Amino acid sequence: MQTTQPTPPPTPKERLVESALQLFYERGFHATGIDMILTKANVSKPTLYKYFDSKDALILAALHRRDESVRQWLIAEMEQRAATPAERILALFDVLADWFQSPDFQGCMFINATAEYAQHDYPVHQASAEHKRVFGQYILGLTSDAGVANPEELTAQILVLMEGAIATAHVSGPGVVAQQARKTVELLLSHAVA
């Protein structure tokens, strides 16, 4: 008989990153103080500085964790909901519609980060831009596999619609913004394949 090992409790470093990620997403980066994170993670200041030499280093670790989890989730959902590349592109907007309806939706953490850290050469801004670039490469793979005439142009259009839908849902509420963006992408796909 095989027994399962109990899951070990999260390490102090994991608690710090997860607590920071939650607070940064809920409250913003500048509005979240180190003391809030320490309290939520139940760790001391020396423990924080054992793992992270600055708040920025902790922000980067939280963004890295969010990047991995969001991209994996989004791609898995798109691939689960649709079989062909074109259908997966459209499924992106179905997944976004569901995300916008979730009670903890606070917009895109990476858009939020670039708003608070606007300088393009700042590491937090660069990490956020890298998240967008990597996901864009996934979409480019789908547009290429869909056989469209100009995959780069269609990818850029899809990403603009995706980012616009996220920002609009964050500012104005979920409404039907994802469905409207999906309809536009349907038209773009039909013209690009024709």
In a domain, 51, yes or no: no
Domain CATH code at residue 86: 1.10.357.10
Q: Is residue 38 assigned to a domain?
A: no
Q: Is residue 75 part of a domain?
A: yes
The pTM (predicted TM-score) of the whole model is 0.91
pLDDT over threshold 60, residue 1: no
Kindly give, in sequence order, each residue whose CB lies less than 8 Å from that of residue 155, ignoring residues fewer than 6 positions away.
Answer: 136, 139, 140, 143
pLDDT tens across 65-90, in order? 999 999 999 999 999 999 999 999 99
pLDDT of residue 3: 65
Tell whether 23 is covered by a domain. Answer: no
* Digit-coded pLDDT (tens) for 107-141: 999 999 999 999 999 999 999 999 999 999 999 99
User: Distance from CA of residue 91 to its chain's centroid?
Assistant: 16
State the helix-helix crossing angle for 12-27 and 34-41, rounded to 10 degrees. 130
In the chain, how many domains are there?
1
Q: Is 72 a domain residue?
A: yes
| DSSP 8-state secondary structure symbol assigned to residue 9 | P
Residue 192 is predicted with a pLDDT of: 87
| CA gap 142, 148 in Å, rounded | 10
Would 89 be classed as within a structural domain? Answer: yes
Q: Which domain holds residue 114?
A: 60-193
Nearest alpha carbon to residue 117 among 53, 29, 31, 57: 29
